[in-house]
Amino acid sequence: MKVFISADMEGIAGKVHWEFSKESDSAEWDRDRQIMSEHVKAAIEGAIEGGASEIVINDSHMSMRNLAIDRFDFEQVEVITGQPKPLCMMEGIDNTYSAAFLIGYHGMSGAHPGVLNHSFCPLSIREIKINGIPVGELGVNAGIAGYFNVPIALVAGDNVMAEEAQARMGDVEVAIIKEALNMTTAKCLPLKAANELIKQKSRSAVQRCKDMKPLVYDTPTELEVDFFMTNMADAAALIPDSQRKGGTKVSYISSDYLELFKTFQAMFMLGEHVRLDLRY
């Protein structure tokens, strides 16, 4: 049995602030990457105990070069690191997997009181909708797994993210490792307890995944992005066959979810480029 793990950082135990890169605060980033790696290791151990024979991990945060791979000394494990990646946070998944795990995930932009809630680009994207329903990274990425008929079997993060996952995917295993009080405050489990919970839920997810259903969106599928600024939408609207839905909104429709996702990825990269190019 093959398991795919997408590992993010904002949802890890103890993480409540935006310093999450080596450049912004090297000491905090190093602490957080160690915790992120411990969570992934716990998920690996639980998956192996549950019967997984092969596990591929995709480092999915920021530079996508965060995980301490020396923690994953298991013969069943491989790690995808670096960027850019065609499938971004879900790079490496295909129809040979039995289950996908989303570790260290967070709530979508605007999901109060979700810790560090955002959707892909916190300074350029206000909201994402698929077929008119607001989604975040969890909803978008679950659609990629669903394209390959792979269920999301486990998510780990705060309680707001867990509620989002259950609303989208029903009977998914959730490891709630912190309770959101507001965007930058949380009541967190100690690391040992958080890892034990992730391990327990991972084991159960592998054992139960055959009864879980992938998230598959109705087709044709429309994805709409609401940017913070009109010039970001100007850039995204340059993509052929995109549709301008208003001053800050651009949408794209496709019957192929991977095409839709890759177009979306181009949209937010263009929008982010325009934001970074601003000079005040």
List, in order of start, the domains of the chain with CATH numbers. Answer: 2-114+137-211 (3.40.50.10780), 221-276 (3.30.1360.130)
Q: Is omega for the bond preceding 86 within 30 degrees of 0, making it cis?
A: no
State the SS3 of 166-198.
Answer: HHHHCCCEEEEEEEEEECCEEEECCHHHHHHHH
Radius of gyration of the chain, Cα coordinates, nearest whole angstrom: 18
Could you tell me the pTM of the whole model? 0.96
Active-site residues, by number, are: 118
Confidence check: pLDDT of 19 > 80: no
Q: What is the pLDDT of residue 57?
A: 98
Q: What is the pLDDT of residue 280?
A: 47
Confidence check: pLDDT of 102 > 80: yes
Q: What is the pLDDT of residue 58?
A: 98
> Lowest-pLDDT range, 9-23, 75-89, 157-171?
9-23
Q: What is the pLDDT of residue 232?
A: 96
State both tokens at 47: 């998956």
